[in-house]
Structure 1
Amino acid sequence: MAAQQSQSIQTLLEAEKEAAKVVQQARQYRVQRLKDARSEAEKEIEEYKKTKEQEFKAFEQSHAGTTQTVQARIDKETEVKQKEIRAAYEGNKDKVVQKLLDRVILVKPELHRNLKKQQ
């Protein structure tokens, strides 16, 4: 009976070693699958970045001309408005200066309305 128990224990130890090997292989397999998944995901991300970058460049090129024409139009409008403002300034500056001088020079001395006359 002792020999049978010894053999059973030996069989259990061998089974335990085999189970440990299976568990270790499963862990290695899982780690390898995670590494593979990460590298695959990085590849997909890189491809997605490339496609979006190409789309953006195409969009930018298609709208670049529009931006330049709009900027040129705005510059022309600004220049026209500046000319109008300068013309108005040149036409009215003498009148404004004259009005200011008239107000400063032509002073009519009057009593303040709150001052009461004393008799």
Structure 2
Amino acid sequence: MSAQNSAGIQTLLDAEREASKIVQKAREFRTKRVREARDEAKKEIDAYRKSKEEDFKKFESEHTQGNKQAEDEANKEADAKIKEIQASGKKNQGQVVDDLLKAVFEVKPVAPSAA
């Protein structure tokens, strides 16, 4: 009877070892699958992000075109005004200097009024 008990115990121990191996393989498979799923999700997220960035750049380039034209027009107008002011300054430069010198050298004192 002890031989039979010993054989039964040995069979149970073998079955337990085999079950432990099966559980370990299942854990390894699950861990591997989780890593694969995470990597796959990262790839999908990167592809989605890249797609949305391209869409944004396309949208931005389409809508900044009008701003660029308006900016160019504003720059042209500003340049024209600057040239006009410079021409006016050169034209009246002599008169302005004469008026300033006249104001400095021809002093007309005025008495203060009583308040």
- When the two structures are superposed, what TM-score results if normalisation uses the length of structure 1? 0.76
User: Whole-Å Cα distance in 1 between the matches of residues 83 and 74 of structure 2?
Assistant: 14
- Per the alignment, residue 29 of structure 2 pairs with 25
- Per the alignment, residue 113 of structure 2 pairs with none
Q: Which runs of 5+ in 1 are unaligned?
A: 104-119
Query: Identity over the aligned pairs, expressed in percent?
Result: 11
RMSD of aligned alpha carbons = 1.8
Q: Deviations over 1:36-60 (max 9, x none)?
A: 0111011001101100110111012
- Per the alignment, residue 14 of structure 1 pairs with 18
Shift of the alpha carbon at 1:77? 1.3
Which one-letter code corresponds to 2:55 in the other structure?
T
1:91 maps onto 2:95 in alignment: yes
Matches within 5 A, 1:1-119: 1-97=5-101
Which one-letter code corresponds to 2:77 in the other structure?
R
User: Whole-Å Cα distance in 2 between the matches of residues 75 and 91 of structure 1?
Assistant: 25
Aligned pairs, how many?
Answer: 103
Q: Which runs of 5+ in 2 are unaligned?
A: 108-115
SS of equivalent residue, structure 2 residue 82: helix
User: Whole-Å Cα distance in 2 between the matches of residues 92 and 44 of structure 1?
Assistant: 67
- When the two structures are superposed, what TM-score results if normalisation uses the length of structure 2? 0.78
